[in-house]
């Protein structure tokens, strides 16, 4: 199993340098720079269309920025295809669910293990020796770590697209975790969930970030300010592709420019609670 | 009699249909060059057979060539189309079909080629009171074996699973470390292989000329009937079409002399689709295409 290695807590795990990405004449990202430290929950907030998801897609490799560099653990990853980045330990969930709808929950999660199964196509087909060993380990990992953590034991054999939305979101998180990532991109994990589900999901994110077993660095794009301010170590604010500010949650909440651009005049916490 | 022949020919159709379904399943593309893949498969087997390779090994070699051609096709023509609208890719397969047909005629000419010496004896086998020509029997057996192999591959291997995943949601599959390029290449390789063997077998029955490629179209009803993305559907559909063709030939030909045999499957397909627009086992999402 690939274990978190070289980086210490607090080292820079991901660095964006002056990243530009435009679609036609619309600049979705106009020179964004930011650093994410290992062990943090790093949130990115901003109004709709601020470029949050575009940024996630650039980090994950679905988009290629026209200018600027992206470093992961000191290595420049601009040119790598998404599947290579996944192998390096970058995993993600999607704003609009992207589950494999026709497959069972378990199959969805197992697909996330895909890259950790090293044996080739022939031995992989006949299920002996090393393959068997791998298969057992991977099964243990999935059952004991992921399914337990996310409390989805009861739905493991159900077809993904038949599940209620909140549970689908959870399964998607499980699938992302199956990669055993070091860096997890969470694109609006709370959107569309009810209050109870939001609390559960926030708890899972904290678990993933804090528990010794995981210690996953998270980049969180989210609109639920209550949760964002509660669980983040650091917050970036984007607006129209520009970065307005970057700092710990308390400072961000106090910044008048941020309040004007995004948070509105009201009290931050009035949206929820 | 026509029942048995129908089923046996249907086995070959099922093979070709399988290739069609695989590509559709992985990429959402209707591969309109399927018939030409069959044609090339037939010619390649023929070429190997001509230089003295026993038929069985010639088929194995055809499989190998199929893999190579599949990967090449993907790399040269389709790789740059990943992420483009599906319709674009379908149009490219139309282009590919002309290209392959032309290439085959360029290399092998347009005369009908026959396997010489014949691979299978002409003397019919007696099974009970039925007379079956060995060509059909062996074709059927070979087709069934290959079908089982492909189905098992899809169901039980990791590659099969990742192919299914890519079909379902390319973006998500990419983010999980599945290489879309590889998956598409593998799908084309498998399609080439199954179509190639189908062509080789068919070539034994009718001889090889350009008309083998019409099989590509003939298989369309089989695929649609079974549901565009269902592997078992393709198999059942293939056999069904084989049956229909032969029944039409036997029973309808006397009333409507001429090519009833050729048209019947299509007529049936249209009627069938009126009642079941997604085929027997297709996902209802098919409508997106």
What integer pLDDT is reported at residue A263 of this predicted model?
63
Is residue A151 in a domain?
no
Chain A CB contacts of B171 below 8 Å: 62, 94, 98
Interchain CB distance below 8 Å, A124 and B173: no
CA of B52 vs chain A CAs: smallest distance (Å) = 30
What integer pLDDT is reported at residue A4 of this predicted model?
44
What are the angstrom distances between the C-alpha of B268 and each of B8, B156, B222, B254?
Answer: 19, 34, 10, 19
Is residue A163 in a domain?
no
Binned at pLDDT 50, 70 and 90, residue B18 comes out as confident
Is residue A260 in a domain?
yes
ipTM comes to 0.71
Sign of CA dihedral B59, B61, B63, B65: negative
Question: H helices of B77-230, where?
Answer: 86-108, 134-156, 158-168, 170-175, 180-206, 215-226
Nearest to B273 by CA among B224, B218, B220: B224
Least CB–CB distance from A62: residue in B169, B171, B283: B171
What would the mean pLDDT of B53-77 be, rounded to a whole number?
Answer: 86
Q: Which residue of A has its CA nearest to B162?
A: A111
What integer pLDDT is reported at residue B288 of this predicted model?
35
Interchain CB distance below 8 Å, B171 and A81: no
Q: What is the CATH number of the domain that holds B25?
A: 1.10.3470
Is residue A194 in a domain?
no
Q: Which domain holds residue B271?
A: 2-288
Interchain CB distance below 8 Å, B173 and A111: yes
Q: What is the CATH number of the domain that holds A258?
A: 3.40.50.300
**Does A169 touch chain B if contact means CB atoms closer than 8 Å?**
no
**Does A247 touch chain B if contact means CB atoms closer than 8 Å?**
no
Q: Which domain holds residue A23?
A: 7-89+183-188+217-273
Among A64, A87, A97, A111, most B C-beta atoms within 10 A, so best to mutate, is A111
SS3 assignment, position A37: strand
What integer pLDDT is reported at residue B147 of this predicted model?
77
User: Using omega within 30 degrees of 0 as the cis cutoff, is the peptide bond preceding B173 cis?
Assistant: no
The pair of structure tokens assigned to B202 is 């068919």
Interchain CB distance below 8 Å, B172 and A94: yes
Q: What is the pLDDT of residues B153-203, one digit of tens each?
A: 777 777 777 777 887 777 888 888 788 778 888 888 888 888 888 888 888
Binned at pLDDT 50, 70 and 90, residue B208 comes out as confident
Q: What is the pLDDT of residues B245-289, one digit of tens each?
A: 888 877 777 777 767 777 777 888 788 778 776 666 665 543 333
SS3 assignment, position B60: helix
Among B158, B228, B283, most A C-beta atoms within 10 A, so best to mutate, is B158
CA of A272 vs chain B CAs: smallest distance (Å) = 31
Q: In what order do the strands lie in the sheet with A67-72?
A: A26-37, A12-23, A67-72, A75-76
What integer pLDDT is reported at residue B286 of this predicted model?
39
Chain A CB contacts of B159 below 8 Å: 121, 124
Task: Burial-class residue B116 by CB neighbours within 10 Å (0-12, 13-18, 19+).
Answer: exposed
List of chain A residues with pLDDT < 70? 1-6, 116-131, 263-273
Q: Which residue of A has its CA nearest to B159?
A: A121
The β-bridge partners of A32 are A19
What integer pLDDT is reported at residue A156 of this predicted model?
84
Mean confidence (pLDDT) of chain B: 79
* Contact assessment for residue B238 and residue B219, using Cβ atoms and an 8 Å cutoff: yes
Residue A173: partners with Cβ closer than 8 Å, 6 or more residues away: A93, A150, A186, A189, A201, A204
Interchain CB distance below 8 Å, A103 and B164: yes
Domain count for chain B, please give it. 1
Q: Which residue of A has its CA nearest to B83?
A: A62
Domain count for chain A, please give it. 1
Q: What is the pLDDT of residues A36-79, one digit of tens each?
A: 999 999 999 888 878 888 899 999 888 889 999 999 998 899 88
**Does A38 touch chain B if contact means CB atoms closer than 8 Å?**
no
Nearest to B132 by CA among B260, B262, B9: B9
């Amino acid at each position: 199993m690939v274990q978190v290695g070289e980086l210490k807590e607090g080292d820079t795990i991901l660095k964006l340098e002056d990243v530009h990405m435009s679609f036609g004449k619309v600049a979705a990202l106009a020179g964004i720079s930011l650093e994410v430290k290992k062990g943090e929950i790093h949130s990115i907030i901003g109004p709709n269309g601020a470029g949050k998801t575009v940024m996630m897609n650039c980090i994950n490799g679905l988009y290629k920025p026209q200018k600027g560099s992206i470093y992961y653990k000191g290595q420049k990853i601009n040119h790598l295809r998404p599947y290579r980045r996944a192998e390096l330990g970058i995993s993600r969930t999607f704003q609009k669910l992207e589950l494999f709808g026709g497959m069972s929950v378990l199959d969805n999660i197992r697909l996330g293990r895909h890259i950790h199964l090293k044996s080739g196509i022939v031995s992989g087909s006949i299920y002996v020796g090393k393959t068997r060993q791998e298969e057992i380990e991977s099964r243990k990992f999935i059952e004991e770590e992921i399914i337990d953590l996310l409390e989805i034991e009861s739905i493991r054999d159900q077809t993904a697209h038949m599940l209620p939305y909140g549970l689908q979101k959870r399964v998607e998180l499980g699938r992302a975790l199956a990669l055993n990532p070091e860096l997890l991109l969470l694109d609006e994990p709370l959107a569309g969930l009810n209050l109870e589900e939001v609390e559960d999901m926030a708890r899972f994110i904290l678990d993933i970030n804090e528990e010794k077993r995981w210690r996953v660095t998270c980049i969180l794009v989210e609109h639920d300010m209550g949760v964002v301010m509660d669980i983040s170590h650091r917050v970036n604010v984007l607006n129209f592709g520009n970065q307005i500010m970057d700092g710990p949650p308390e400072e961000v909440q106090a910044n008048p420019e941020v309040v004007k651009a995004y948070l509105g005049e009201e009290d931050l916490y009035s949206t929820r609670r | 009699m026509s029942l048995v022949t129908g089923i046996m020919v249907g086995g070959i159709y099922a093979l070709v249909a399988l290739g069609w379904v695989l590509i559709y399943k992985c990429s959402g593309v209707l591969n309109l060059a399927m018939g030409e893949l069959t044609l090339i498969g037939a010619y390649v087997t023929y070429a190997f057979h001509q230089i003295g390779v026993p038929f069985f090994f010639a088929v194995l070699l055809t499989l190998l060539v199929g893999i190579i051609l599949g990967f090449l096709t993907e790399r040269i023509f389709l790789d740059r189309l990943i992420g483009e609208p599906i319709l674009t890719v379908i149009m490219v397969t139309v282009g590919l079909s002309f290209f392959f047909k032309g290439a085959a005629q360029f290399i092998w000419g347009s005369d009908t080629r026959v396997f010489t010496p014949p691979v299978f004896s002409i003397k019919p086998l007696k099974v009970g009171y039925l007379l079956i020509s060995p060509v059909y029997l062996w074709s059927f057996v070979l087709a069934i074996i290959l079908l089982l192999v492909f189905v098992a591959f899809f169901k039980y291997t990791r590659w099969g699973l990742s192919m299914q995943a890519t079909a379902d949601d390319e973006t998500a599959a990419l983010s999980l470390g599945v290489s879309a390029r590889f998956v598409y290449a593998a799908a084309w390789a498998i399609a080439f292989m199954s179509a190639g063997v189908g062509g080789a077998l068919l070539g034994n029955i009718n001889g090889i000329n350009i008309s083998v490629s019409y099989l590509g179209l003939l298989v369309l009803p089989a695929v649609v009937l079974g549901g565009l993305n269902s592997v078992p559907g393709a198999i059942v559909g293939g056999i069904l079409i084989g049956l229909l063709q032969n029944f039409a030939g036997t029973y309808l030909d006397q009333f409507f002399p001429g090519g009833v045999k050729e048209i019947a499957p299509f007529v049936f397909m249209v009627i069938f689709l009126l009642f079941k627009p997604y085929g027997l086992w297709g996902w209802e999402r098919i409508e997106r295409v």
